[in-house]
Amino acid sequence: MLKAPKFWYKKNDTYLSNSLYPLSLLFRFGTKIRNFVSRKTSSGIPVICIGNIVVGGAGKTPVALKIGNLLKLNGYNPHFVSRGYGGVETSNVLVKEWHSAKSVGDESLLLAEVAPTWIGQDRNKSFILAKEKGADCIIMDDGFQNPTLQKDFSIIVINGEQGFGNKRVIPSGPLRESISRGISRANLVIVIGEITQDVKDKIPSTVPIIHAKFQISTDNKIYKNQKVTAFAGIAYPEKFYNSLSEQGAILEKKISYPDHHIFDENDMLNLAENANLTKSVLVTTKKDFVRIPKSYRSLVSTLNGEIKFEDENLLKEILSNVLENKINDFAI
């Protein structure tokens, strides 16, 4: 996947965004046709969809991980379902410890650390397989815009720092669909970081908002006053670089790769050379770490953290009510 174009996140219209606008209209028209002709099937168990409106980088996977842990603590047996983006595996399989990011994608490896995780292009089939293996609910990472997939409760994740960019639909901007259409189908909005008034104005008062932040783990290595060569292959690497800076790290160099980039030997040798020249340590995200060849992982440190909800009890109450009602509906 390529890096997001810089003009997507410029406040004012640019020549590129204006010239690509006709293609955005075509994309939106194609989406409407797809929604009209598509039909979804039921899996027989509740599906919580965690999606976003922009292309990548909002924080869906960290939110999915946190919600998976919350549901397990409340006695549920959730399974994750993901397409396995970035992996070569297309059939429906349960992610195992011997899988690599190259085969099943980086996100599914992280999800599998919390709960059983299914990947595959046919996510409806993954729903059925999860139910057969004992899942009483499903957390779907992404898939919000796919009209063929069952969604009993949809959560939209918004990165407050990133917002909606120039508010245009791809390829003219970063939106997968119009803001109004996306928000109208959401049951809950989770905002990570500070929310701007501009973003807040786009969310109707009828849609509940839960605020969250990415909190560095207490057992995480502290990089304060340490020289760091930071690298990341994620959709919005600035979040990672900013987190290091806030911790007091001295960023000697920031090296960004395309989203879901699979690191090879040449990448690692170049990174090691950069770190050696500046006498700094190599630091990346946990999501990037699983895409590094195992023989080079000892050279790299990570910045670990998790999502913290301001009102976790409210979120647990909402999800428990939804799941109990849906489980009863399916039992009838």
Question: Do residues 230 and 103 both lie within one domain?
Answer: no
pLDDT of residue 40: 83
Q: Are residues 86 and 191 in the same domain?
A: yes
Q: If you write DSSP's letter for every residue of 49-65 in order, what string do you get? A: EEE-SBSS-S-HHHHHH
**Residue 199 sits in the same domain as residue 69:** yes
Q: 262 and 131, same structural domain?
A: no
In a domain, 25, yes or no: no
Q: What is the pLDDT of residue 219?
A: 62
Q: Which residue has the tokens 């939110």?
A: 63
Whether 20 is covered by a domain: the verdict is: no
Residues 189 and 80 in one domain: yes
Question: Is 269 inside a domain boundary?
Answer: yes
Residue 173 and residue 68 share a domain: yes
Query: Has residue 12 been placed in a domain?
Result: no
143 and 58 assigned to the same domain: yes
Beta-carbon count within 10 A of 25 CB: 11
pTM score, whole prediction: 0.91
Do 234 and 213 contact (CB within 8 A), yes or no?
A: no
Instruction: For residue 282, give its domain range.
Output: 221-303
pLDDT at 257: 94
- Residue 198, pLDDT score: 82
**pLDDT at position 1, please?**
52
27 located within any domain: no
| 91 within 8 A of 53, measured Cβ to Cβ | no
Q: What pLDDT is recorded for position 217?
A: 73
Report the pLDDT value the prediction gives residue 286, as an integer from 0 to 100. Answer: 92
**pLDDT (tens place) for every residue of the chain, 332 residues total:** 556 788 998 888 898 999 999 999 999 999 889 888 888 888 899 999 999 999 877 889 999 999 999 999 999 999 999 999 889 998 999 999 999 999 999 999 999 999 999 999 999 999 999 999 999 999 999 999 999 999 999 999 999 888 898 999 999 999 999 999 999 999 999 999 888 888 888 888 889 999 999 888 766 667 889 999 999 999 888 889 998 998 889 999 999 999 899 999 999 999 999 999 999 999 999 999 999 999 999 999 999 888 999 999 999 999 999 999 988 888 76
Beta bridge partners of 226: none
Q: Are residues 279 and 316 in the same domain?
A: no
Residues 323 and 257 occupy one common structural domain: no
Residue 103 contacts by C-beta under 8 Å, 6 or more apart in sequence? 87, 88, 89
User: In which order are the strands placed within the sheet that holds 227-232?
Assistant: 250-256, 227-232, 281-285, 300-303
Whether omega before 293 lies within 30 degrees of 0, making that bond cis, reads no
Are 108 and 140 part of one and the same domain? yes
Q: Is 201 exposed, middle or buried (0-12, 13-18, 19+ CB in 10 A)?
A: exposed
pLDDT at site 161: 82
Residue 11 lies in a domain: no
Number of domains in the chain: 2
- Is the same domain home to 169 and 286? no
Same domain, 245 and 282: yes
For the beta carbon of residue 35, count every other beta carbon within 10 angstroms.
14
pLDDT at 38: 84
Please check whether residue 64 lies inside any domain of the structure.
Answer: yes
Residue 61 located in a structural domain? yes
Triad 290, 279, 262: Cα angle to 5°? 20
pLDDT for 13 equals 85
Question: Any idea what the CATH number is for the domain that residue 113 is in?
Answer: 3.40.50.300
